[in-house]
Structure formats: C-alpha cells, structure tokens
Structure 1
C-alpha cells in the first residue's frame, strides 16, 4: 500500500509546473468535492495562538451546529488533557473566535451557549452574517488510487456583491460577541520582601484545608502570591483573608485559581489609616444663650446676667 502511494505521489509531483523548491514544503493540491471546511489563514497562521488553540479552532469550525465542544467533550475526543484544552479555549476567547455565556432556558435550567466566529475581524467591521448549513456527506467508496491531475490552489474568492436589504436582510449577531475588556491587574505590594512572599504563599497553599475545592497548583500559588501579599501588607489578618477567599464559592468551582484571583482583586481592603487621619477634629466652643435678668431677652454670654442694653442703662444711672 505504501509503495502504491509513493508511486502516485511521484506522478503527482511530476505534474507540478515549474521547478520545485529545494527546501520547505511542497503542496500537492487536489480539489475537495465533499467533507471539507474553508479555514482562513488568519486562524491557521495566527501569530499569537498556540498550535493547540489553532487545531481546536479548526476542529470546532468543521463541526455541524449543535455539536458538543465543551472541555470534557474535547478531552474525550483528543489525547490532550482538560487543562491544556481549557487553556486553548481561553486563547480562542481572548482573540474573539469563541464566545461562551451562561443562559437560562424557559424551564429554568442553566446552559452554556457557545458561539464560534470564523472571522472576528470582519464581524467587528459590521459584515453581514450568512447562515451556513453544515451537512456531513457519506464516506465515498475507496477505489484504486489513480494519479489525479494537480491543479494550482484556487485564488481567493472575490468580495460578494452587496444584496439589497429587502432581498436578503443581514443576520445581526449580538454585540456581546466582541472581545472582552481587559481584566483588572492583580494587586501588588509596595515591597515584596522574602518574608512577606513566604507568608502569602503559605496562606494560598493552605486554602484547600478550609475549602477542599480550592486546590491551587504551584504555578498558581507563585502567580497569586503578590495579591495575597498586598492584603497582608495592608494589615489584613490571615483569617480574614481566608474567609474572603473561601466563603460562598460557586458549586462546582471550575477554575479555582481564577476565583481566588478575582476575589484578591475586587475585595482588596484599603490601607489602614495613620494616626494623623484618626486624630479627632477640634471645634471652637460655641458661646451659649442666656436670658437677660432685666428684659428677658436672649443674648450670648458664658455666664447669666444682663444684655448689652440693660447694662448700658445701669451704667448711665450710676
């Protein structure tokens, strides 16, 4: 079988026009007639995506609508572990290829809605969305290999002519599919001393004794230690930090490290006030009102007596 394949490949290479490159890949491009998916080079050659993320993105794009693409479903299909697959899905979310949201159905059940966009850049520019019907064709019967003529790869299709709105109204995709805003940075202490770093790391590693769901890896503890150190530097007691990080956890917590990072960031207490801020404000004493012993009028004086007019009359009489 291998020999037959090698012979067919040799004939195919001989049909390629022009000199072959001396190094690098040589493409034998045979047009697909069934069971194929069009993938943009912006995904296949993405400079910031890992190879795992690109592969999972291509796989999801090739599936029919309604297919299960959760972490456990992908881990059951591929040899990569759940942690690697979860990291790849987060990469696709960061670059707007993938969007996941929790929604409540009419019967009250919560489900995860997954949306995959094959061209995030075009979506942000307001391009119309064309519904795609995904059909799986039957596997063709294998026949003896016959060298097929090699044709050059097809040129990119020209931009489609805009269709009047009355004839084909575009399908609007919710704006929430756009890229997420950057998350708030993890708090940092003013000075991360070795003693402070050790105390923060020990506090984070000890969380699983108080909440078995919060099992952090060594890398997670090393990454989150500055955030816990910022709490300790601001005078927060370790018991108070544990209570803030372990109380009312979602069940089940899918990403313990993300939960701890979020709470360290949004629940950070303010610095303790200094002695100057706690000094009470001294107010000027107010002179009380007195009732005049001569005319019963009210006047301000530190002691009872007569008002100004009555005192003047007494002075004139004297």
Structure 2
C-alpha cells in the first residue's frame, strides 16, 4: 500500500468487470491493467512497485502505464490532501472503462473526489431500465440484467438525457418480437449513445493533472492521452542543434576578433 492518502483511486461510473474488459489492449497492457484493476484503493501503483509484483521490468511497466494512459484507463493527478492542511497528494486514478480526454477533463473540473455510498440505493439509470418492461413488455429485463446494463444507461444520463427520454428512445420502433431483451437493449444503448455534452467553461483548480510519463503538471487539454507533447514526441527539444549553432557563432566571432588584432589587420 502507498502512504496514507496516496496511491490508486478508482474513477467513478465504471462498467462491471468481465473477461473481455481489456481485450482491446495488447497482451502486456491487458495483463498489467487487470492487475491494477484488482488492487484496492490506496495501493501503490508506481512502476517500481508494480515491477516487483509483475513479470516485467520497470521500463516495460512505465511504457505500459503510458500506453494505458493514452488508451484512457488512467490519469495522474495532484490534489489537496483534504485534511485541512496545505499538503498536496499525488494519486493515480484508474478506470477499467476507457475514457476520452474530454471525460477526464470534465471529471477533473467537477470538484470533490466521489465518495462511496455506505447505504446503496437504486440509481435513476437502474430505475429507467427496470421501467422498460412497463413501457413495453417486449423489453422486460430481470434484476441482474438491469444491473449489468446500468453503467451504459448511467452514461446516457450523465450526457444530459433524462430517464423519460432514455426509455422512449429504447422502446421506439421495436420489432414485432424481441428474442433477447437484454441483448437488444445493450445494442441500442451502445449504438444510439448521445454525444458528450460541452465541457464546463473553466476548471475548478482543485486538481492538477500530470503527465503520466514525466509527471510535468499541465492543463488537461495539453495532456492528450495523459501525456505531455514532449513525451508524445510532438515537441522534441533540439538542444544539440541549439548548442551547435551557438558554438559556431562563438567561433566565428573569435575569428573576427583575432583577424582584427593581427599585424596589418584592422582593429
């Protein structure tokens, strides 16, 4: 485990884990993502610690973490400790559900870290799914099916679609018979997913995102895939070229000076 207040934090609104959760990733990244997914909140997940727990070296783990960041599964963040002091803590937020840059930026600007509810209640997304069977018997879902589809429905509501509109969209234009209501509903939830709403006008300033690779702080829009431009290879400093030009200018100036003090030369 990391020091108290540091380490892994789970991002909100993740879909439940299934055998195909990380199937879109390369084998190494999928293996490491599955390991991180099983870690409890607060666990250390720096490259050095993970390399001790996994069959990969530190450099391979660092590369995999960068790739997971670009794939939308994690972001490094520094934020106030929340204990009334001025101390800042450094955390890595992990989401088994891949998120876009826009989603991470919206979440970063929302404010306080989501806290777990000690008294779980049915969510509006679950209620909307449970109501489908009343709106049209062809889409009657079991309690387990509602729970499985809840994250997808919750994403609709998070994008500004009210429950009544969600129900109307899912039940519109149904075929005469639906052999698998759960599969049909899942397909519609995915295929008709509305676009993400516009970003909030200004950041809250409570959290600062860092480059996953070099940990340089920056605004979310400057850290595409969680990486700064240099680590993405977009801006590569040409220090060697700058130094060479500077040294050549110095040599030319020295030659002109020497020419001026030679016998017969102009001072």
Bin for the TM-score computed over the shorter chain: 0.3 to 0.5
User: Normalized per residue, which structure has more helix?
Assistant: 2
TM-score by length of 1: 0.33
Larger Rg: 1
Higher relative CO (Cα under 8 Å, sequence separation at least 6) belongs to: 2
TM-score by length of 2: 0.38
